[in-house]
Structure 1
Amino acid sequence: MDIAFVSNVVYPDVTGGAEKRIYEIARRLAAKGHTVTQYSRHYWDGPERIEREGVIYQAIAPGKELYAGDRRSIPEALDFGVRTVPALARAFRDHDIVHASVFPYFPVLGAAVAKAAVRGDAAPLVTTWHEVWLDYWEEYLGRLSPFGKLVERYTARVGQHPIAISELTARRLKDLGRPREQTHIVPNGIDVEGVQTVTPAADGYDVLYAGRLIPEKNVDVTIEAFARAAQNDPDIRLGIIGDGPEREALERLASGMACRDRIDFLGFLPEYEDVLGHMHAADVFCSPSEREGFGITYIEALAAGCTVIGADHPRSAASEVIGDAGLAVRPTTAAVTQALSRSLSGVAATTRPERRAAQFDWDRIAAQTLDVYRAVLDETPAARQPEPRRTGVESTVLSD
C-alpha cells in the first residue's frame, strides 16, 4: 500500500503528541514493506526530500514558528493549509491513502480542496481527530471563538474517513454532525517495552503528577487530596513534574499544608527518561484532569507499574484509557482523597497496570491503523484499489 501522511509538523524535528503518533505508525508501516511519505514543513536539515527509517519526508513549505505567544499561530496554520493544495493535488493521484492530522484544521481543509481538484479517481482522505473542542473555543479564543467553532465544524463535515483517538472524541465529533458509525477508533500508543526498561529514579515519590500546570489539570485538587491522605500516612511524598501558569499559585497552596515538606515541585525534567524513572519509582500516578482527549501520561504510568487516578468527567477519556487498572473519579478533593487512600493500600486496581498498558503498544496501534486503511479501500471503487508499482514491488501486499 502507498500511504501519504500530511502534517505541518514532523517528529523528531518538532516534538508533540500528534507528530509522534505519525512517526511511530509511519515507520512501522514502512518496515512492513508499505510505501510511506509524509508531506510537511521543512524543519529538518538537508534537502527538501529525504528518507529516514524507510519513510520519505517531502517538504511542501518552509519551516515556520508554530506559536504566537502561548497559542498556536493562526497565520502559520492558514499558510500551510494554502500550500497543501497544489502539493496534494498530485498526492491524491499518486498514493492509495492520504492521511491528514486534523489540528490545526487548515491542512485538512487544504487537502479537501486538493482532492476536489483531482480529475478522475482520487485516493480516500483519512483524518485523525485528537480532540473536539466545541465550547472550549470560548476559553481558548475568547471573542474570536465563533471563528474557531466554525472552522472546527466545517472541517468535520468535509469528505473524509475520520479516526478518533477515543470514544469520547468520536462522540464529540458526532456533535459536529459526523455520524458516529462513520468514525473509526484507534487510540494513541507508547513504546511499552521502552518504558519498561527505564531504571527507577533513586529519589522517587509515592504519589506523582506529570504534566502542564494549568487550571483544567486540577493539580490543586491533587495537592489538597494528598494533604488529607498524608494525615493518615506520615511517610508518603508527592512529586509534581511540569511547569505552567499555575505554578506560583500551586506552590502557595502547598506551602500552607501541614505536609508541605513532603511536596516537591520538580519543574520540567531535562530528559523524557527522567520522567519515566519517577513513574517507575511511584506507586500512584494522580492526574484528575477534566480535559483529556486521551492521556498519554496515563499509559506511560501504567506501563511503569503505577496505579493511575484520572477524572470521571464529560471532557476526559481517562476511564477509557485506565480501565480497571486504576480509578476514574470525580475531580473533587473528597473523591480524589478516597481514590488515593485506596490506591496506596493496593486495592484500587483489578488488572495489573502493565497488562493494561500493553494494549496501547505502538505495534498494535500501527496494525489497527492499517486495518482502517483496508476498510476504507474496500469502500472505494475498484479503480482506486492499490496496484503493483512500476518498481516491481507490489503495493497490493497489505499483510502485516
Structure 2
Amino acid sequence: MRIAFLSNVVYPWVNGGAEKRIHEIGSRLAEDHAVTVYPRKFWDGPDEIDHHGMTLRAVAPETDLYVEEGRRSITEAIDYAARLTPPLRRSIDDHDVLVASVFPYFPVLAASLARLRTDTPLVTTWHEVWGEYWDDYLGRLAIGGRVTEHVTARVPQHPIAVSGVTADRLAQLGSDRAILPSGPDRADIAVVPNGIDVAQVRETDPADDPADVLYAGRLIADKRVDRLIDAFEQVASDATLRIVGDGPKRDELERQARRSPASDRIEFTGFLDEYTDVLREMRAAPIFASPSTREGFGITYVEAMAADCTVIGADHPESAAGEVIADAGFVPEPTTDALADTLDRALSGERPPTDPTARAAEYDWDAIARMAERAYRDAIG
C-alpha cells in the first residue's frame, strides 16, 4: 500500500496523542508499505526528509498551534488545510489511501477537495466527538465548532474511532440529519484503539520516591481531580497522593488541597520534563486513579496497567474508561463516596480479577498497527 497521513503536527517535534499514533503506526507499516506524512515543517533542513522509514513532506511552515487559555488555533488549522490541498491534489495518484486525523477537522475537508474525481479512499481517525463540549471550549463561538464537526462527519469517508464510546457518539452525531445528509452508521465505523510501547513501560526504572496514589493528566474540569482530592481525604491517614500535570484548574485544585485535612499528603508536580519521568512514577506507584467523566480513549489507563498499577477510572457514558480497563482495574461511579470506597479497598491491597499487564499487552503498538493496516486495506476495497 501507498499510505498518506494528513496531520499539521508531527512527532517528535510536537508530542501529543494524535501525532504519536501516526508515528507509531506509520513507522511500523513503513517496513512493508510506502508511507508519506504531510505536516507542517517543524524540523531543520530540506522540506522532504526520511524519518523512521516514512517520508515527511512539509506543506506549510512551523507556526504557533495554540492561542490563549491553551486552545488550539482555528486560524492555524484553516491555514494548514489551505496549504495542504494543492500539493496533495498534485500527488493524489501517488497514494492508495489518505488517512486524516479528524481534529482539527479542516484537513478532512482539504482531503475531500484534493480527491475530487479520484477513487482514492479517505480514512478518518476520530479521537473524540465533542458535541456539547464545544460550549465549554469555545463559549459563544461554539456554534462554529458544532457545525464544523457535523459537516466533517458527513464527508464521504471510512471512519475509524479509537474506542467504542467514540464510535457510538460519532454514529449518533451522524444521525442528526437536520439540513445535512446523514453521516456514518455505527456498523461502518471501525474501532482501532490507541496504543503504547509495552516494553518501554516495563523496562523503565521506577521512581525513587513513589506516591501511594498517582494521577497524571491535564488539570481540567472533566478529569474530576477535585473529586479525587475529596475522596482521598476519606482514606488511610498515612497514604500520599501525587498529582502530575497542569491545566486551567491547577490553581483552584491547589487551593482545594491546601484546605484539605490531607493537605500535607497531597503533592502537585506540574508537567514532568520527559515522558519517561511519568512512566517512572507509574512504575513506582501501586495505584493510579483518574476519575475522568470524559475520555475518548484514556491512554494513561493503559500505560498505568502496563506498569502494573491498580487502575481506578470512573463509570460514565462519555468515558471509555470501562471499555479500556475492563476487569483489569476498577471503574466505580464518579461520586466521591464510591471513589473513596474503591481507593480504600485498593490501598488495602485488593487487586482486580484480571492481571493489568496482560490487559495492557493487548494495546501494544505492534498489535494496533496490524489493526490499522486491515482497516486501510478494507477502505481500499
| TM-score, normalization by structure 1 | 0.91
Residue aligning to 2:189? 183
For 1:38-67, what per-residue CA distance to the aligned partner results, in whole angstroms no more than 9, with x for missing partners?
Answer: 011111111110001110000111112111
Local SS of the residue matching 1:240:
strand
CA distance in 1, matches of 2:73, 2:262: 42
Tell me, yes or no, if the aligned pair for 1:91 and 1:98 is still in contact at 8 Å: no
Cα distance, 1:307 vs structure 2: 1.0
Give runs of aligned pairs for residues 197-208 of structure 1, distance below 5 A: 197-208=203-214
Q: How many residues are paired up?
A: 371
Q: What amino acid maps onto 1:125 in structure 2?
A: L
Task: Write the letter of the residue equivalent to 1:220.
Answer: D
Shift of residue 130, structure 1, vs aligned partner: 0.3
> Which of 321, 330, 346 is 1:343 aligned to?
346
Q: Does 1:174 align with 2:171?
A: yes
In structure 2, what is the equivalent of residue 39 of structure 1? 38
Match of 1:145 among 135, 142, 146: 142
CA distance in 2, matches of 1:87, 1:122: 17
1:189-248 per-position Cα deviation (integer Å, ceiling 9, x unaligned): 000000111111110011000111111111111111111012xxx321111111222222
* Matches of 1:215 and 1:377, distance apart in 2: 41
Matched, 1:306 2:309: yes
Question: What's the counterpart of residue 353 of structure 1?
Answer: 356
Instruction: Look up the equivalent residue of 1:101 and give its one-letter code.
Output: S
| Contact 1:50–1:56 (Cα < 8 Å) also in 2 | yes
Is 1:294 matched up with 2:297? yes
Q: State the alpha-carbon separation in 1 of the partners of residues 115 and 242 from structure 2.
A: 49
1:214 aligns with 2:220: yes
- Indicate the percent of aligned positions where both proteins have the same amino acid: 57
**Alignment partners' CA distance in 1, 2:359 and 2:288:** 15
Greater alpha carbon shift after TM alignment, 332-341 vs 184-193: 332-341
CA distance in 2, matches of 1:249, 1:158: 41
- Work out whether 1:136 is the aligned partner of 2:133: yes
Residue among 124, 127, 138 paired with 1:127: 124
**Alpha-carbon distance in structure 2 between the residues aligned to 1:179 and 1:299:** 28
- Contact 1:92-1:122 at 8 Å conserved across structures: no
- Report the counterpart of residue 161 of structure 2 in structure 1: 164
2:233 corresponds in structure 1 to 227
TM-score, length of structure 2 as denominator length? 0.95
Distance 1:283 1:371 in 2: 37
Deviations 1:320-344 (A, max 9, x none): 1111111112211101001112222
State the 1:91 CA deviation: 3.5
Q: CA deviation at 1:252?
A: 2.0
Say whether 1:26 aligns with 2:26.
yes
Q: What amino acid is the match of 1:56? A: T
Match of 1:79 in 2: 79
Compute the RMSD of aligned alpha carbons. 1.1
What is the alpha-carbon distance in structure 2 between the residues aligned to residue 361 and residue 225 of structure 1? 32
| Higher mean C-alpha displacement, 179-188 vs 328-337 | 328-337
Please give the alpha-carbon distance, in whole angstroms, between the structure 1 residues aligned to 2:249 and 2:141: 24
Q: Which residue pairs with 1:396 in the alignment?
A: none
Distance 1:353 1:206 in 2: 17
Inter-partner Cα distance in structure 2 for 1:94 and 1:45: 25
2:251 to 248, 256, 259: 248
Whole-angstrom CA distance in 2 between matches of 1:63 and 1:266: 30
2:325 pairs with one of 314, 322, 328 = 322
Q: Which amino acid aligns with 1:18?
A: A
State the Cα distance separating 1:348 from its structure 2 match.
Answer: 4.3
User: What does the per-residue CA deviation read over 1:92-112, in whole Å, with 9 as the maximum and x for residues that have no partner?
Assistant: 311111111111000000100
Question: Is the 8 Å Cα contact of residues 339 and 348 (structure 1) preserved in structure 2?
Answer: no
Deviations 1:259-285 (A, max 9, x none): 221111111111211111111111110
Give, in angstroms, the shift of residue 83 of structure 1: 1.6
User: What secondary structure is seen at the aligned counterpart in 2 of 1:324?
Assistant: coil
How far apart, CA to CA, are the structure 2 residues paired with 1:135 and 1:360?
29
Spell out structure 1 runs of 4+ moving beyond 3 A. none
Paired letter, 1:205: A
* Helix, strand or coil at the partner of 1:356: helix
- Could you give the per-residue CA deviations for residues 171-199 of structure 1, whole angstroms, max 9, x where no partner exists? 01012212101110000000000011111
Alignment partner, residue 178 of structure 2: none
Counterpart for residue 369 of structure 1: 372
Q: Which residue of 2 aligns with 1:48?
A: 47
